[in-house]
């Protein structure tokens, strides 16, 4: 069994070479050499001519090029997040939430929709892995955990009142999550502002070096 694997690998390499462009091109050139032999042009050195033509053909043939790896589209994680947000909304609709929490969830949901709706905003987000991580963490873990712990703690509080109000904790958590998403939006906005400022400086620098920028009329 130990010797069969190297033998199989060698056979695979040999078969791959037989099918390669180098071997096919070299064989075509060697056939041309045999044709010269049959016509008497190669003379007594026909084996050298055939071998030389085969080697020359193998050298000029393009090398075997393995296919380039295909990586997932940067926007593909957003497609999954959009579906997960829909699933999260269906879950939240089944939970009896206090009015203050519902009021907090509204703006947070609007931010998620604004970031994930297909368009130039989501395209900018797709180029920001950290931003995608922030959203995925909020949708997959933080929001469901906040609501679920609220539901469980509220039940225990009804059985035996505690020192902390579950509603206040939930509202505070939602406010913190809203702040994280707002920071993400601010970062994306800042990146666009920097891009705009960079383009302004480019136009200013280009105008400084032109005749129009110095006030000189064309042709003078």
Q: pLDDT digit string (tens) for 74-88?
A: 567 898 999 999 999
Q: Give the domain range for residue 41.
A: 15-60
Question: Has residue 64 got a pLDDT over 60?
Answer: yes
Mean pLDDT of 50-62: 65
- Mean pLDDT, the chain, integer: 79
Question: Has residue 188 got a pLDDT over 50?
Answer: yes
Residues 45 and 89 in one domain: no
pLDDT of residue 171: 95
pTM for this prediction = 0.61
Distance, in Å, from the CA atom of 187 to the CA atom of 194, rounded to the nearest integer, reads: 11
193 found inside a domain: yes
Number of domains comprising the chain: 2
Distance, in Å, from the CA atom of 188 to the CA atom of 132, rounded to the nearest integer, reads: 12
Residues 127 and 193 in one domain: yes
Q: How confident is the model at residue 92 (pLDDT cuts 50, 70, 90)?
A: very high
Residues 114 and 201 in one domain: yes
Total Cβ atoms within 10 A of residue 55: 13
pLDDT of residue 36: 57
pLDDT of residue 220: 43
Contact assessment for residue 57 and residue 26, using Cβ atoms and an 8 Å cutoff: yes
Distance, in Å, from the CA atom of 116 to the CA atom of 107, rounded to the nearest integer, reads: 14
pLDDT of residue 20: 63
Pick the range with the lowest mean pLDDT from 48-52, 133-137, 140-144, 209-213.
Answer: 209-213
Both structure tokens of 65: 């090029």
Residues 100 and 188 in one domain: yes
70 found inside a domain: no
Pick the range with the lowest mean pLDDT from 72-86, 143-157, 174-188.
Answer: 72-86
pLDDT of residue 76: 76
Q: How confident is the model at residue 91 (pLDDT cuts 50, 70, 90)?
A: very high
Residues 82 and 44 in one domain: no
Largest separation between any pair of C-alpha atoms in the chain: 108
111 found inside a domain: yes
Total Cβ atoms within 10 A of residue 82: 16
């Amino acid at each position: 069994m130990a010797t069969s694997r190297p033998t199989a690998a060698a056979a695979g390499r040999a078969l791959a070479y037989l099918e390669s462009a180098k071997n096919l091109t070299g064989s075509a050139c060697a056939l041309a050499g045999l044709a010269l032999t049959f016509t008497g042009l190669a003379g007594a050195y026909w084996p050298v001519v055939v071998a030389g033509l085969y080697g020359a053909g193998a050298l000029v043939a393009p090398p075997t090029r393995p296919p380039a790896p295909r990586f997932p589209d940067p926007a593909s994680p957003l497609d999954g997040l959009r579906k997960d947000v829909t699933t999260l909304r269906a879950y939240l609709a089944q939970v009896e939430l206090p009015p203050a929490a519902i009021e907090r969830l509204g703006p947070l949901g609007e931010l998620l929709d604004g970031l994930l709706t297909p368009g130039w905003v989501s395209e900018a987000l797709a180029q920001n892995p950290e931003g995608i991580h922030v959203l995925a963490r909020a949708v997959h873990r933080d929001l469901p955990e906040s609501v679920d712990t609220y539901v469980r703690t509220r039940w225990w509080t009804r059985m035996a009142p505690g020192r902390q109000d579950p509603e206040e904790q939930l509202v505070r958590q939602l406010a913190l999550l809203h702040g994280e998403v707002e920071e993400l939006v601010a970062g994306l906005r800042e990146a666009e502002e920097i891009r705009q400022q960079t383009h302004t400086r480019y136009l200013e620098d280009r105008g400084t070096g032109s005749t129009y920028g110095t006030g000189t009329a064309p042709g003078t």
